[in-house]
Amino acid sequence: MSKSAVLAYHQRTKHTFKAFAKGPETLDWDDQPDPFRIFEGCPIFTLPPPGREPELSWQQFKSATCAPKAMTRDNLGLMLELSFGLSAWKEFGPDRWALRCNPSSGNLHPSEAYIISQHDEVLPVGVYHYQVYAHHLEQRATIETPTLPGEMYVALSSVHWREAWKYGERAFRYCQHDAGHALGALSYAASLLGWQVELVNEISDVQLASMLGLDKAEQFVKREEETPDWLCRIRYQTDDVLAGSVEQLFTALENAVWQGKAQSLKAYHMYHWKVIDEIAQVTHKPAGIKSPYNSLEGVDAIASHNANQQPLAALIRNRRSAQHFSRGAEPMPLARFKTMINATREYQRAPLNSWRWPPAIHLFLFIHKVEGLAPGLYCLPRSQHGLDVLKQKLDSAFLWQAEADVDGLYALHLNDLRNIAKSLSCYQAIASDSAFSLGMLAEFDAALDESVWHYRRLFWESGLVGQVLYLEAEAAGFRGTGIGCFFDDEVHKVLGIQDTSLQSLYHFTIGQPLQDDRVQSLPAYAHLTQS
Ligand SMILES: Cc1cc2nc3c(=O)[nH]c(=O)nc-3n(C[C@H](O)[C@H](O)[C@H](O)COP(=O)(O)O)c2cc1C
């Protein structure tokens, strides 16, 4: 029953050549939900001023493990800033909008981040909401004593309404992409401090909602509630082993004292997309998931290096989505292409080492302008199993010609496919004017047959891979953009997919960006020093 409900949601939120998935007929920009959540009535805990520039370069990050830094309020604040904080303000005519270190579909930012502290010297034991605009923590709950002394956790939730306001029924998918990007962003920021992010798989959504106080309906404006996404343990010592279970933390938090109330997002909710509430309910992560997969098992590490000496922090703060690409740019050097593509299979390095499941997302690429590769459709399975499934399910007429120069890449069909790439991605020129664009095919049925909550997991994985591509593109001197708008079944037709064993969940594009000089860029946190 519930798998059919997921399939029904997935089907009805597909864009087709004939019609887009159901969304608002008109957009009232004055009704845009506030992207910054504030809990009033909570004690505030300050973080050190944003903008610190740790030394670690991209090359060092890629070639060695950074010695772990101490868990301090300063370092915790830096990690939060580089994961979810502001990266710049943009101004065009009368419009002004903030960008963040993590990307978001439509820049709507449904995600909210929380800290659960069990480390009294850093933050009194309790639950904290990260207030992005002010870059400080709002203490939502206190607990008397730590249950897992010294531990530090980061959690994420989504306000679906922020995304649904603009994108209607398809918005649930975008919230899941964003959660995957946010996991990647957190993992990169943590590794800058020599810390590692461990996704806690064992906690159910009901438990996580309770741990973050999201189940206290009276503390949220109706329809502006938050839905729990993920919980991560921050490993900040090389030899640390969890002395207990996260379930104990859940039990301890049942006795927490809660304070504060979420301010209204100042939206008047002209539409209500019921189907989003329904799919969120159906895909709730259940209790009792006991055997987390160790991401280091069974997959070969593929090392890719890039000699970029820029500080990792600068690359994170400068990451942007390209709005336009230069059609006349020189072909992308093959070495750069290889580095980016290989990074999507570096399972033992941040951010992919935060992942707890075997790779279930595989890439198909429209290569337009890459040195040494003929233009055409290519495939990069991210595991041996993926290769077997794809060979069985994709169009039997495909070439499957192994590319000698790029390990694991197969040419499927050689031709200039720029028009097709553009048409499939909702006619967006960013998919055709780049050096290459790609789609992410999920092993869909198999994941849902295991548990329907994996619907969300598959989108998270695609967002995580997207975050790898964003940072790799930036480090290689190029720029990427996530593409959530594409015509699902038209993509499947091009690939010869005839059932739901494989589904394309996300697209991405990388090339030489064109700068729009009319858009002014302003510093991220100038408002903190001015006030
Ligand atoms: C899940 C997702 C889907 C996106 N889809 C599109 C898209 O279809 N077209 C596009 O131009 N940009 C798309 N973007 C890029 C966002 O618009 C961009 O991340 C946002 O405006 C914030 O800008 P920034 O990435 O420069 O911080 C997408 C981003 C994400 C994370």
Give the pLDDT of the chain (531 residues) as one tens digit per residue.
Answer: 599 999 999 999 999 999 999 999 888 887 889 999 999 999 999 999 999 999 899 999 988 778 899 999 999 999 999 999 999 999 999 989 999 999 999 999 999 999 999 999 999 999 999 999 999 999 999 998 889 999 999 999 999 999 999 999 999 999 999 999 999 999 999 999 999 999 998 899 999 999 999 999 999 999 899 999 999 999 998 677 777 788 899 998 999 999 999 999 987 778 889 999 999 999 999 987 765 555 544 344 455 567 789 999 999 999 999 999 999 999 999 999 999 999 999 998 899 999 999 999 999 999 999 999 999 999 999 999 999 999 999 999 999 999 999 999 999 999 999 999 999 999 999 999 999 999 999 999 999 999 999 999 999 999 999 999 999 999 999 999 999 999 999 999 999 999 999 999 999 999 999 988 888 999 999 999 875
Q: Would you say the CB of residue 98 lies under 6 angstroms from ligand 1? A: no
Is the entire prediction scored with pTM above 0.95?
yes
Give how far the C-alpha of residue 201 lies from the chain's centroid of Cα atoms, to the nearest Å.
Answer: 17
Going from the Cα of 482 to the center of ligand 1, the distance in angstroms, rounded, reads: 5
SS3 403: coil
Ligand 1: residue of 104, 163, 516 to mutate (most ligand atoms within 8 A of CB) is: 104
Among the listed residues 419, 445, 441, the one whose alpha carbon sits nearest the alpha carbon of residue 507? 441
In this structure, the number of other CB atoms found within 10 A of the CB of residue 174 comes to 27
Segments in 440-480 forming alpha helices (H): 444-450, 454-475
Structure tokens, 448: 């849902």
155 bridge partner residues: 114, 231
Query: How far is Cα 336 from Cα 221, in angstroms, rounded to an integer?
Result: 48
Helix (H) or strand (E) holding 154: strand 152-158
SS3 159: coil
Going from the Cα of 344 to the center of ligand 1, the distance in angstroms, rounded, reads: 19
Ligand 1: residue of 96, 178, 321 to mutate (most ligand atoms within 8 A of CB) is: 321
Structure tokens, 252: 């301890």
Going from the Cα of 320 to the center of ligand 1, the distance in angstroms, rounded, reads: 9
Among the listed residues 230, 484, 474, the one whose alpha carbon sits nearest the alpha carbon of residue 357? 230
Inter-residue contact 522 to 91 (CB < 8 Å): yes
Atom of ligand 1 nearest to the CA of 101: 27
SS3 477: coil
